[in-house]
Amino acid sequence: MKDYIINCKSELKASDDAAGVIEGYASVFGGIDSYNDTIEKTAYDNVLKSNILPRMFFNHSHWELPIGKWDEMSVDETGLYMKGKLNLNLDEGRDVYEAVKFGSVDGLSIGFRMDEDGASFDDDGVRHIHNVKELLEVSIVTFPADKSARISDVKSALEALDNVKEFERFLRDAGGFSRSEALALCAKARKIFNPQVSELPKEEDINLDPAVAAMRKLNSVLRGN
């Protein structure tokens, strides 16, 4: 089972009825995103049965405090609809709410867990996601769907990295690496650029094949392929 982040076609708006309340579609059925993924109408059946609501973050910053909470989740013919409330006692919660009301932020993005048999590919190479195991988060995001916007966001994240821990988080969030893959890459990088560091896994114990494959995918995204 692996974790995924998908920026589907989505929409978000602030409610006119109550302060802090936001609602919108976290994903829309039938569309094809820039990673060639599409969400089928059966995708959230197990999620709805579990009755477990996802966390709310801004731009998938799941290592920080949630900026609010989702209170309602449902599926209709259009897609997965979410309704929740931003925590206006937090600075980031207030800032995001004002940005949503202003219209400068209007996207949602899902972070979920899926088994390998939860998706299948058609003859055109489109991956059809039909069974989400767990919906971990629905984030409010600046760039929900556009491919060029995603690339800009990834480049900005790269420029902002200051330490190994942040690089590990970046690999997991933007590159789709598992925790073990991200740690392996970080360990290898530290060994290359700082040979005096001694407390690292032995090179023969580090399996970089899955990480290399994921890095190639990330490189393809950055180059716009």
DSSP string for 122-154: -TTS-EEE---SEEEEEEEES-SS-HHHHHHHH
21-28 and 11-14 beta bridge pairing = antiparallel
Indicate if 139 belongs to the active site: no
Query: Catalytic pick from 10, 27, 137, 139?
Result: 137
Predicted confidence (pLDDT) per residue in 137-190, tens digit: 999 988 765 343 343 444 445 555 566 666 766 666 555 566 677 777 777 777
On whether both 128 and 97 belong to a single domain, the answer is yes
Indicate if 104 belongs to the active site: no
On whether both 212 and 115 belong to a single domain, the answer is no
Provide the whole-model pTM.
0.62
SS3 label, residue 42:
coil
Query: Domain total for the chain?
Result: 2
Within 10 angstroms of residue 39's Cβ, the number of other Cβ atoms is 26
Predicted confidence band at 71 (pLDDT cuts at 50, 70, 90)? very high
On whether both 132 and 175 belong to a single domain, the answer is no
SS3 label, residue 90:
coil
H-type alpha helices, 51-194? 91-102, 147-159, 164-173, 179-193
Domain C-terminal end among 89, 112, 145: 145
Indicate if 60 belongs to the active site: yes
On whether both 54 and 101 belong to a single domain, the answer is yes
Where b means 16+ CB within 10 Å and e means fewer, 23-32 reads bbbbbbbeee
Query: Catalytic pick from 109, 139, 168, 181?
Result: 109
Residues in the chain: 225
